Amino acid sequence: MLTTAPYLRIRRPSPTTAEFIVSTLPPQTLPARLALGAVYLVRLQLALAVLLMMYAAQSPYYSAVPLQPLLLPSTKALATDAYANSSTSASTAAAPSPIDVLATTPIFSLAFIRQILNILLSSRLGSLLSKLANSIPPWVLIPCSVITLYFLSLRIGAEERLLVLRGLGVQTSSSGATVFSPLKTRFIPTEKIQDILINEAFRGFEVRHYLIVVVEGEEHIVVVFPRLLPRPRMVEKVWKGARECLYGRDGEDEKDGGRHREDGTV
C-alpha cells in the first residue's frame, strides 16, 4: 500500500520543458497521505523512545525510586524558603513538582532540556525504559539503538527525476536513502551533452537497460535513474521524450550522424 513497482509520470509545463519522474510511491491520494503520515508518526515516537532509553542508560539522575526534579540554584533557594516557612507553621510542605520547576527554568538553556528529560523519565513509560536500558550492557544497547534509529529514518519509497530544459540542459535528481539525506541533483548544460543513449549492460545474469548521458570531457557516463532502474519500455519512452524536448521535434541533433541504432541502443 505504501510502495509500488516503479512507474513513470511525465510533466510538460511548456513545449520546451519536460520532467520525467520514476517513483515507487503510489499516487498521493488522501488515504495514501494519511497512511504515510501515520507511519512516519509511529516511527518518530519509536525514535524518541530509543533516544530516551539511550539517555536513561547514561543519565546520572536515574534511580530505582521515582526521580526528583532537577533544581536550579535559584529554585533551590525558593524551595528552601518555602520549606522553612512551612516548618514554622508546623505543616509539611511538598517539594515543588517537576512542572513547577520547569516553569521557572529558562527555555533556551541546557537545564530546560534536562528538566524535560527528567519529567519524561519520571513517567511510567520513562521508568520502564530506564529499567530496560539499565538491564542491557552498554556495548549492546548503543549499537542496537543506533541501528534501530537508522532503520527508523529510512525513507519510504524512492523517487528519481530527469528535468529537460531546451537550450539550457538536463538536471537529474534522486531522493536520499533516509529522511535526513539531501536530494542529490546534478545539472548538465546543453553544450556539455554529447548524446543521450540507452545502454545495455549485464547485472548479475540479466541484461538491464540504462538511460545514460554522455558528458564531454568526462571519463564516466552519467546514469539516469540509477537506483530504480525502470523497465526498458519506460527507459525508451524517457529517451524519446528527452531527445525530443532537448533537440527538437524529431529528437535528432545535428551531431548524431546516425551513430546509433534507431532505438538509441548502443
CATH of the domain at 222: 2.30.29
Q: If pLDDT is split at 50, 70 and 90, which confidence band does 76 have?
A: very low
Asked if residue 259 is part of any domain, the answer here is no
Asked if residue 263 is part of any domain, the answer here is no
Asked if residue 232 is part of any domain, the answer here is yes
Are residues 148 and 162 both part of a single domain? no
pLDDT at 257: 45
H or E, element range at 174: strand 169-174
C-alpha cell recorded at residue 24: 515507487
Asked if residue 255 is part of any domain, the answer here is no
Across the range 183-201, mean pLDDT stands at 92
pLDDT at 203: 77
pLDDT at 88: 46
pLDDT at 95: 59
Domain closes at, from 152, 177, 210: 152
- CA dist 49 → 16, 53, 91, 130, 139 (Å): 50, 6, 40, 10, 19
Residue from 152, 151, 153, 129 nearest 141 by CA:
129
Instruction: State the residue for C-alpha cell 508518526.
Output: 41
Mean pLDDT of the chain: 80
pLDDT at 2: 81
Domain enclosing residue 132, as ranges: 37-152
pLDDT at 84: 52
Are residues 171 and 68 both part of a single domain? no
How far is residue 187's CA from residue 247's CA, in Å, rounded to a whole number?
17
Q: If pLDDT is split at 50, 70 and 90, which confidence band does 66 have?
A: very low
Asked if residue 219 is part of any domain, the answer here is yes
Question: For the whole prediction, is pTM greater than 0.85?
Answer: no
Number of domains the chain is built from: 2
pLDDT surpassing 90 at residue 107: no
How far is residue 219's CA from residue 151's CA, in Å, rounded to a whole number?
35
Domain closes at, from 120, 152, 184: 152
Across the range 198-212, mean pLDDT stands at 86
Higher-confidence residue of 263 and 162: namely 162
